[in-house]
A and B are shown apart, each in its own frame.
Chain A
Amino acid sequence: MPEPLSSDGAISPAGAGGAMDLAMAEGASLEKAPGGPQGTGPAGRPRSLWSDAWRDLRRNPVFIISGLIIVFLVVISLWPSLIASGDPLQADLDDAQKGSGPGHPFGYDPQGRDVYTRVVHGTRTSVTVGVCATLGVALLGSVLGGLAGFFGGWWDSVLSRITDVFFGIPVVLGGLVFLSVVTSSTVWPVVGFIVLLGWPQIARIARGSVITAKQNDYVQAARALGASNSRMMLRHITPNAVAPVIVVATIALGTYIALEATLSYLGVGLKPPAVSWGIDISDASPYIRNAPHMLLWPAGALAVTVLAFIMLGDAVRDALDPKLR
């Protein structure tokens, strides 16, 4: 396991110095009351990291646009009938694969169901799967990976080897074993399954970046000053190690929604009569030559959702990173 010695002169440790200044300033400011009236300025002003981030975000167009998209997605997840009054299960096979027509802007799917209604009604399932699975994976993965990277030694050995074991399980096999016994038609078994098989990826990333962050002089300094483990982890390491996790997690959100499609394709995903983008994408993919619109709309909805979450992730990460101000 990696057991870092104190930094030596093999490579110029410059840079860590700058970071340390910032970190110390940040550490100092955190102890003061949050919220200062000042605008942007050199480090050291009495503002909290979070209020600072919020000030940044409010003026960031990327954040505003992605935020609006996400709010919209949440609203139609809760009340899909606001913009689509039809029944997503209503099918007339005579209309199968037809293109758009009056009252049916997106056309029909292979079973003759209205694609527009299904895309709108599928939002809830797909967004729930994506967001909940991502949150679960990110939390579990970064906690376990972070602990392994921070403590090293036995912690690292045991946790990393457990990670390895879980990595070895093929998704298809896991899906057929864990999900085929489930009869519930809710999204939770699928979410749980994705978390179960997804956390090792984040854990590896988190471990790597915690090991890097731990090398920084400000962490060494904090340790020398007698900071407790929990304080070091929460105040010094987490903010500096969280970036790769956010990056991977926001991208993973999209792949999890797509994974739900693959699981449905294997017959172990969401149980009928669930409606989701994943089911629609997998149903439509054989017809890509003859009726691409059936694939285009749910895949497009998936793309916009992922875009929104990635942009949001980017904006939040930038705002939280004092070095980029």
Chain B
Amino acid sequence: MGRYVIRRLLQMIPVFFGTTLLIFLMVNVMGDPIAGLCGDRRCDPATAAQLRAEFGLDKPVWQQYLTYMGNVFTGDFGTAFNGQKVTELMATAFPITIRLTLIAIVFEIVIGISLGVVTGLRRGRPVDTTVLVLTLVVISVPTFVTGLLLQLVLGVEWGIIKPSVSPQAPVNELLVPGLVLASVSLAYVTRLTRTSIAENARADYVRTATAKGLPRRRVVVRHLLRNSLIPVVTFIGTDVGALMGGAIVTERIFNIHGVGFQLYQGILRQNSQTVVGFVTILVLVFLAANLIVDLLYAVLDPRIRYA
């Protein structure tokens, strides 16, 4: 187990370099970021050249990458075009996004798995059909529509929530954005759990457990659910990264200044220092989540062993 974890941690190194290099190249391919800094006017050539030199954009890409990585290892993630340190941006953005992501995941787990268990145990009954139709509506309406609608109804018409989130982003203000963020994944989790539960509900060990006279609740939670969770856990694990980086739409609608917002802004302004910095952290989070998921496999299914 210990050796397995160490091996996985070592494997993160090539992934880390691969991803940062890929992102670095991609931002570079997008072209000259300086052209966007002077509004609808052409930048004066001397200033543009000077800016390129300052951000190191006049060097070949490989050299830029090496310099950047060198700086990263000394804790210097560079500077955004507006003069702000990228580490400063991260320090404000990540706590907010982590809160938002946690809320979304809690929604996924609590609502998604509960609905999945209920529908899985009652396949084909009215409750199953109702939930199916509901999840479908959620899937087929894009997030920006769900978000705008909830904001309009809850925030303006009924005045239950504030339509936008304050810069401190306390948890209570993040509940609705979290729900919006979770909505599509919620549908996946429900459907995945339902399928797994339905499949395992007929398994002999469940029959045995029931026959043994165990209470139904115990059978469902300890035997059935535990054995049905592997695909669900895999999904939630992979979703962590997607939720953190993919909250662009939700963060925009509710005016949350988190990772999605910074990343989007960095991409639009073609600021490789911001983009690579944020993506690097996201990839690390993602790799950690994957490792945890793989370790959870063994917890959920003791037949899986890690050497």
Chain A residues packing against B (C-beta within 8 Å):
1-5, 7-8, 10-15, 17-19, 157, 160-161, 164-165, 167-174, 176-177, 180, 200-201, 204-205, 207-209, 211-212, 215, 243-244, 247-248, 251, 254-255, 258, 261-262, 281-282, 285, 288-289, 295, 299, 302-303, 305-307, 310, 317, 321, 323-324
Chain A residues positioned under 8 Å from B15 (CB to CB): 161, 164-165, 168
Decide: A165 near B304, CB < 8 A? Known: A205-B231, A251-B188, A323-B199.
Answer: no
| CB contact between A4 and one of B139, B142, B204, B304 (< 8 Å): that residue | B304
Within 8 Å of chain A (Cβ to Cβ): is B238?
yes
Q: Is the CB of B294 within 8 A of A2?
A: yes
Report the Cα distance A4→B248, complex, angstroms: 39
Q: In whole Å, how far is A208's beta carbon from the nearest beta carbon of chain B?
A: 4
Interface size on B, residues (CB 8 A): 77
B4: A residues at CB distance < 8 A: 1
Contact partner of B287 among A11, A164, A258, A282, CB < 8 A?
A: A164
Q: How far is the CA of A307 from the CA of B132 in the complex (A)?
A: 9
Chain A min CB distance to B50 (Å): 27
Question: Which of A204, A289, A306 is close to B139, meaning CB atoms less than 8 Å apart?
Answer: A306
Known: A2-B294, A211-B297, A258-B142. A164 touches B283 (CB 8 A): yes
Please report the C-alpha to C-alpha distance between residue A282 and residue B145 in the assembled complex, in whole angstroms. 9
Does the CB pair A2–B235 fall under 8 Å? Answer: no
* 22 residue pairs A–B, Cβ–Cβ below 8 Å: A1-B7, A1-B306, A5-B305, A15-B200, A18-B203, A164-B290, A165-B15, A165-B283, A170-B263, A172-B263, A177-B30, A205-B235, A208-B231, A208-B297, A209-B231, A212-B301, A251-B187, A251-B188, A262-B144, A281-B142, A288-B145, A324-B198
Which residues between 1 and 40 of chain B lie within 8 Å of chain A, taking CB atoms?
A: 4, 7, 11, 14-15, 18-19, 22-23, 26-27, 29-30
Provide the residues of chain A in CB contact with B290, threshold 8 Å.
160, 164, 204
Given known A18-B203, A244-B231, A254-B139, contact A173–B195 (CB-CB < 8 A):
no
Q: A169 contacts which of B26, B199, B294 (Cβ < 8 Å)? A: B26
Q: Is the CB of A3 within 8 A of B241?
A: no
B65 at the interface (CB under 8 A from A): no
Partner of B195, one of A1, A207, A247: A247
Contact digits for B201-243, partner A, Cβ 8 Å, 1 yes 0 no: 0111110100000000000000000000011011101100110
Residues of B within 8 A of A208 (CB): 230-231, 233-234, 293, 297
Other 17 A-B pairs with CB < 8 A, given A168-B19, A306-B136? A1-B7, A2-B297, A5-B303, A15-B203, A164-B290, A173-B263, A201-B238, A208-B230, A208-B297, A212-B230, A215-B304, A248-B235, A254-B140, A258-B142, A285-B145, A303-B141, A307-B140
Q: How far is the CB of B102 from the nearest CB of chain A, in Å?
A: 20
List chain A residues, Cβ under 8 A from B29.
177
Q: A18-B203, A169-B22, A172-B264 are in contact. Are A299 and B303 (CB under 8 A)?
A: no
**Which residues, 80 to 98 on B, are CB-close (under 8 Å) to A?**
none
Distance of A288 Cα from B208 Cα, bound (Å)? 54
B305 touches A3 (CB 8 A): yes
> Complex Cα distance A323/B123, Å?
14
The 9 A-B pairs at the shortest CB distance, nearest first, are namely A303-B140, A15-B203, A208-B234, A10-B302, A244-B231, A168-B283, A15-B205, A168-B19, A14-B205
B304 and A2 form a contact (CB under 8 A): yes
- Asked if B115 CB lies within 8 Å of chain A CBs, one says no
| A14 with B19, Cβ < 8 A, contacts A164-B287, A281-B142 known | no
Is A15 a contact of B204 with CB atoms below 8 Å? yes
User: In the assembled complex, how far is the CB of residue A307 from the closest CB belonging to chain B, in whole angstroms?
Assistant: 5
Q: Is B249 in the interface zone, CB < 8 Å from A?
A: yes
A254 to B143, CA, bound (A): 12
The CA-CA distance from A160 to B12 in the complex, in Å, is 11
The 0/1 profile, CB within 8 Å of A marked 1, for residues 36-50 of chain B is 000000000000000
CB neighbours of A254 from chain B (8 A): 136, 139-140
Q: Per-residue 0/1 for B107-147: is the Cβ within 8 Å of any A Cβ (1 yes, 0 no)? A: 00000000000000000000000001100110111111100
A165 to B20, CA, bound (A): 9
Report if B152 contacts A (CB, 8 A): yes
CA distance A5 to B203 in the complex (A): 22
How long is the Cα–Cα vector from A243 to B193 in the complex, in angstroms?
Answer: 11
Given the complex, which residues of B lie within 8 Å of A299, measured CB to CB? 140-142, 145
Contact A258 B140 (CB under 8 A): yes
B307 at the interface (CB under 8 A from A): yes
Q: Are A204 and B238 in contact (CB under 8 A)?
A: yes
Task: Write out the residue numbers on chain B whose beta carbons fall within 8 Å of the beta carbon of A2.
Answer: 294, 297-298, 304-306
B176 close to chain A: CB less than 8 A: no
- Kindly state the separation between the CA atoms of A169 and B192 in the bound complex, as whole angstroms: 25
Contact of A247 among B184, B192, B283, B294 (CB under 8 A): B192
Contact A164 B245 (CB under 8 A): no
B32 to chain A, nearest CB (A): 14
Closest to A21 in B: B204
B287 cross-chain contacts in A, Cβ below 8 A: 164
Q: Which residues from chain B contact A248 at a C-beta distance below 8 Å?
A: 188, 191-192, 235
Chain B: which residue is nearest A284 at the CB level?
Answer: B145
Q: Which chain A residue lies CB-closest to B226? A: A11
Q: Is the CB of B234 within 8 A of A8?
A: no
